[in-house]
Chains A and B, each alone.
Chain A
């Protein structure tokens, strides 16, 4: 079973206590420093520090070794290439940089619950809340991470099935079922989100907009009451705006959700057409 995720283990180490933001910043700084500094001694020092940090979080052995193993393969290939070119110092620097970044990333994964990362992403995109709903972006981040091991598992299954049919040399026998099943998994995941009502909670900004509209209509109603103008009730709203005071038209719009039209939490207030409904099946 592939388990790139679920590497997190609760603990009380300094890295566990640090905030997700600080740890992400630390990772970013390490990446920048390793890219800027070409000195192999410094790179080896940073690598040792990162490896110690990883060990300090007491990571689960099997997935950690597997993840580090993949990085080691890449590092060995890169080092071989550099050595072939006769650049020994460069080879040490590149290998140390790769190992350092991988170890720190694993240390952070091991000491940070996904929910904290989700909160961090949501906080980071909050200033852009009008364009990008923070909860949705956070959820996208979580779903992306969730999909990686599942997609890998699907392709491994497809490869095994192709081998069982004697089609291991035919890439179509792996790619076509792999791609189809990955899309199927994405659809199932989408349905599960829908069923759990998770995607629907991610619309606070829209809800806020609606409430502003409500406030405007309330203000309009209060103004109308203050001026003692007879206000048209929702049940007797005339069909033409010519018959309705301008204030009452606003009130009618605000009331539409309660009167049976889609509420703001339902797909931005647009009634699905027959075609849209059918597509959702």
Chain B
């Protein structure tokens, strides 16, 4: 269970609020977070595994505080970035997954075997020794996901994982995320994907504007985006 207890984030220098004090309990298996660019949805997602720490309030994952027990939280919560390039560290696919496994498997050959299995399961069988630079964008995102899944997290936070992918890979990665047997919290601009979740949170101007049924949330978001005059239109 993920609990936000009046968690708030402000900009370091200016003190401008990035995320207002937010109190949430996230229990559902599939949760989507939608909102405009710069609304604070990625900040909300990053709070979950301690990539961003709350300035006031707290965030807990199964009772573990992200500030005080960040390392333990990150073992439970995997994070998938929009751009897999920055998430991949080692030169080849199998070595990158192996790097994730170093903290849980000591034996080198067992580690390599587990990494190859992880690649096989995600659909990158036979790509183990291929340079990460030679993989397509979709394959890189799958590889990043394999690196996250290899260490058996309980929750995956995916920050716009399909934004940079073409239609085919978007469908593939989206379907894969939907079938994972763990809690998935996805930040997305894809309203179809958002509406397939069990719960959808709409973030607007650093605050939760709507939280509930995905279909209603998507309608609320559309109204928010198109029903209200923007600042540019005002000007």
Contacts and interface: CB of A to CB of B under 8 A. Distances in A.
Interface in A1-49: 1-3, 5-10
A77 interface: no
A265 interface: yes
Interface residues of B, number: 49
B125 interface: no
Nearest to B144: A192
A2 B55 contact: no
A165 interface: no
Interface residues of A, number: 49
A145 B133 CA distance: 13
Contact of B55 (A7, A260, A278): A278
Contacts of A261: 68
Q: What secondary structure prevails in chain A residues at the interface with B?
A: helix
B92 A113 contact: yes
B53 A281 contact: yes
B230 to A, nearest CB: 26
Contacts of B148: 196
Contact of B90 (A115, A279, A280): A115
Contact of B54 (A1, A200, A277): A277
A191 interface: yes
B113 to A, nearest CB: 13
Contacts of A271: 67-68
A188 to B, nearest CB: 4
Contact of A260 (B68, B86, B92, B130): B68
B131 interface: yes
Interface of A: 1-3, 5-10, 113-115, 119, 135, 142-143, 145-146, 149-150, 185, 188-189, 191-198, 200-201, 260-263, 265-267, 271-272, 274-275, 277-281
Given A195-B51, A263-B68, 4 more contacts: A119-B108, A191-B81, A275-B12, A277-B55
18 contacts: A6-B131, A6-B132, A9-B129, A114-B90, A115-B95, A115-B108, A146-B90, A195-B51, A195-B78, A196-B87, A196-B100, A197-B74, A275-B12, A277-B54, A277-B55, A278-B55, A281-B18, A281-B52
